[in-house]
Chain A
Amino acid sequence: MFIETKNLVFEYIERDEEGNPTGVKRAVDDVSLQVKKGEFIAILGHNGSGKSTLAKQLNALLYPTEGSVFIDGMDSAEDENVIPIRQKVGMVFQNPDNQIIGTVVEEDVAFGPENLGVPTDEIRQRVDESLKVLGMYDLRLHSPNHLSGGQKQRVAIAGVVAMHPTCIILDESTAMLDPGGRAEVIRAARALNDVEEITVILITHYMDEIIYANRVFVMNEGKVVMQGSPEEVFSNVETLRALRLDLPVVTQLAESLRESGVKIPSGILTTERLIEELKKCR
């Protein structure tokens, strides 16, 4: 098992505007989950459901209050494991501008390997490789300020890939992008999963992004309330609605058709599948 959390709890102290503590907030509540190498996982949940906090636990940016997190057998609570865990589990954040450190694309991609103390020749090799994988090689000498949002996120992903991680977490990395940019990033994530066999954990609140996942975790108030394949999760329409999560448009249409008596199965996620099922009805 590559990632394993055991009864993970994370609490932080809530403060008012003057900084006086007002209470304890349990952001992650008794989460036990397991992720195998090479999986494509999606974590869903509305704002404040604890999904980003959970993600930060997985690469030792936050530490468990109770319970434990093991990455490739390493306990994240041990200080000497922090750097190896962060190298194995890379993280891409939401705002593309606030995670690019270099003033030139290739310098930014080199930042991670430089921190790891990789020799100069190998850094060059890794930078070129990961920029090629992400399709950003031609723009390697550009300033990140002149790139589009989708391109900036691809640079950020390249920066993580250059550290040779086993797993990449995309923490709402598509939330600030236009539809074109979102598609770019999702395509890149799928390619990394398929071709490079990197485990991908996609955190999002866009339903249509999770249909590519092997498994989906749905979070609410710090707990994992549902898990399974995208089809299984989207079959529970009522539960999803109760959690204030929207269904993908195709699924909504299929559900309405089903409710009005058309005989199609639940959990339809793609247009192609819906057309197929409708053809069978004739």
Chain B
Amino acid sequence: MFKDITLGQFYQADSVMHSLDPRTKLVGTFLYIIALFIANDAAAMAAAVVFLCIAIALSRVPASFMFRGMKGIALILLLTVGFNIFLTPGVPIWTWGPLKVTAEGLRSAAFLACRLVLLISGTSVMTLTTTPNSLTDAMESLLLPLTHIKVPVHEIALMMSIALRFIPILMEETDKIMKAQMARGADFESGNFMKRAKSMVPILVPLFVSAFRRASDLAMAMEARCYSGGEGRTKLKPLKYGRGDVVAYIVQIAFVAAVILL
């Protein structure tokens, strides 16, 4: 049942966004998030919406995919909007008992909601058009200067990609262990939260034991294939900036500048 889960939410398509270098997309998303927090009036917000719409159109990913992530944050969105509407001090335009709605509250709630929605869909554009692997590659390459202050960037990136590879395997294994325990009468569904959490222990213990065994096997397999750290390694697919990336960077910077000026 776990075998067909695809990791991340990569959407296979042939588009301008897909062909951009993952570093461009990562930096772009970062700049976009900063711009969202700088944006302080309607004009700047509108620019951000337009910018995102263009990016979505260029990615050729159906818009419904973009907004799937919204469900997860619906509650947070509702709460923050609620708090902002009722708890912002200012001139009340409507009161009911202890609750009062202020003009300032409405304004900041609207901006916050806008920001959150744009933030989630903005990052979705990146994760939908970039494979988890190229994202780790991009992160490794962008964080490389940190090796000077002794941050093990290569090792962290390798750990991330190995984790990505083993998540489906460990999920399948969890499924197997659960079935094995269920066949022996284990009950994972009834009882309150504490009871159900406790019933997970007989799954977690064998899972961890097997994960450690796999880790030790994998380490030996990597050594057998001459792995000796990141130094002197070459790459099958080195990251390369193309003409599209230059354009994308210029557009990004222009956008941020526009938001600051507006």
Residues of chain A whose beta carbon lies under 8 Å from any beta carbon of chain B? 59, 61, 83, 86-87, 90-91, 93, 95, 97-104, 106-107, 110-120, 123-124, 127, 144-146, 159-160, 163
Interface residues of B, count at CB 8 A: 29
* Residue of A with least CB distance to B132: A103
Q: Which of A87, A91, A99, A118 has the largest count of B CB atoms less than 10 A from its CB?
A: A99
Option from A95, A98, A112 in Cβ contact (under 8 Å) with B225 = A112
| Residues in A whose Cβ lies below 8 Å from that of B226 | 83, 86-87, 112, 115-116, 163
Q: Cβ of A127 and Cβ of B225 under 8 Å apart?
A: no
Q: Cβ of A145 and Cβ of B3 under 8 Å apart?
A: yes
Q: Cβ of A119 and Cβ of B217 under 8 Å apart?
A: no
Q: Cβ of B165 and Cβ of A114 under 8 Å apart?
A: no
B222 at the interface (CB under 8 A from A): yes
Option from A83, A99, A117, A120 in Cβ contact (under 8 Å) with B221 = A99
| Residues in B whose Cβ lies below 8 Å from that of A144 | 165
Task: Give CA–CA (A270, B132) in the complex, Å.
Answer: 50
Task: Give CA–CA (A117, B235) in the complex, Å.
Answer: 8
Q: Cβ of A115 and Cβ of B225 under 8 Å apart?
A: yes
What's the minimum C-beta distance from B63 to chain A, rounded to whole angstroms?
27
B224 at the interface (CB under 8 A from A): yes
| Residues in A whose Cβ lies below 8 Å from that of B67 | none
Q: Cβ of B224 and Cβ of A91 under 8 Å apart?
A: yes
Given contacts A97-B169, A103-B133, A103-B165, contact A59 B224 (CB under 8 A): yes
Task: Give CA–CA (A282, B205) in the complex, Å.
Answer: 64
Instruction: Fill in one digit per residue for B89-111: 1 if any A CB lies within 8 Å of its CB, else 0.
Output: 00000000000000000000000
Task: Give CA–CA (A196, B191) in the complex, Å.
Answer: 62
| Residues in A whose Cβ lies below 8 Å from that of B165 | 100-103, 144
B232 at the interface (CB under 8 A from A): yes
What's the minimum C-beta distance from A203 to chain B, rounded to whole angstroms?
14
Option from A90, A107, A117, A163 in Cβ contact (under 8 Å) with B133 = A107
Task: Give CA–CA (A46, B219) in the complex, Å.
Answer: 25
| Residues in B whose Cβ lies below 8 Å from that of A160 | 225
Task: Give CA–CA (A113, B214) in the complex, Å.
Answer: 23
B141 at the interface (CB under 8 A from A): no
| Residues in B whose Cβ lies below 8 Å from that of A107 | 133, 236-237
What's the minimum C-beta distance from B32 to chain A, rounded to whole angstroms?
27
Q: Which of B221, B223, B224, B232 has the largest count of A CB atoms less than 10 A from its CB?
A: B224
Task: Give CA–CA (A91, B222) in the complex, Å.
Answer: 10
What's the minimum C-beta distance from B234 to chain A, rounded to whole angstroms?
5
Interface class of chain B by DSSP: helix
| Residues in B whose Cβ lies below 8 Å from that of A127 | 236
Given contacts A98-B214, A98-B218, A101-B165, contact A61 B234 (CB under 8 A): no
Interface class of chain A by DSSP: helix
Q: Cβ of A114 and Cβ of B234 under 8 Å apart?
A: yes
Given contacts A95-B217, A145-B3, contact A159 B225 (CB under 8 A): yes
Task: Give CA–CA (A26, B162) in the complex, Å.
Answer: 35
B147 at the interface (CB under 8 A from A): no
Q: Cβ of B220 and Cβ of A93 under 8 Å apart?
A: yes
Q: Cβ of B225 and Cβ of A120 under 8 Å apart?
A: no
| Residues in A whose Cβ lies below 8 Å from that of B227 | 111, 115
* Residue of A with least CB distance to B5: A145
Q: Top 8 A-B pairs ranked by shortest CB distance?
A: A99-B221, A98-B217, A110-B236, A112-B225, A91-B224, A115-B226, A117-B232, A103-B165
Q: Can you list 16 A-B pairs, Cβ within 8 angstroms, ordered by A?
A: A61-B223, A86-B225, A86-B226, A95-B214, A98-B213, A98-B217, A99-B217, A100-B165, A103-B161, A111-B225, A115-B227, A117-B232, A119-B234, A123-B234, A123-B235, A123-B236
Option from B218, B232, B235, B237 in Cβ contact (under 8 Å) with A101 = B218
Task: Give CA–CA (A124, B236) in the complex, Å.
Answer: 6
Docked complex: B225-249 residues within 8 A CB-CB of A: 225-228, 232-238
| Residues in A whose Cβ lies below 8 Å from that of B164 | 103
What's the minimum C-beta distance from B158 to chain A, rounded to whole angstroms?
9
What's the minimum C-beta distance from B157 to chain A, rounded to whole angstroms?
13
Q: Could you list 11 further interchain pairs (A-B, Cβ under 8 angstroms) beyond the known A93-B217, A114-B233?
A: A61-B220, A83-B228, A91-B221, A93-B220, A97-B214, A98-B221, A99-B221, A100-B165, A103-B133, A123-B235, A145-B168
| Residues in A whose Cβ lies below 8 Å from that of B223 | 61, 86
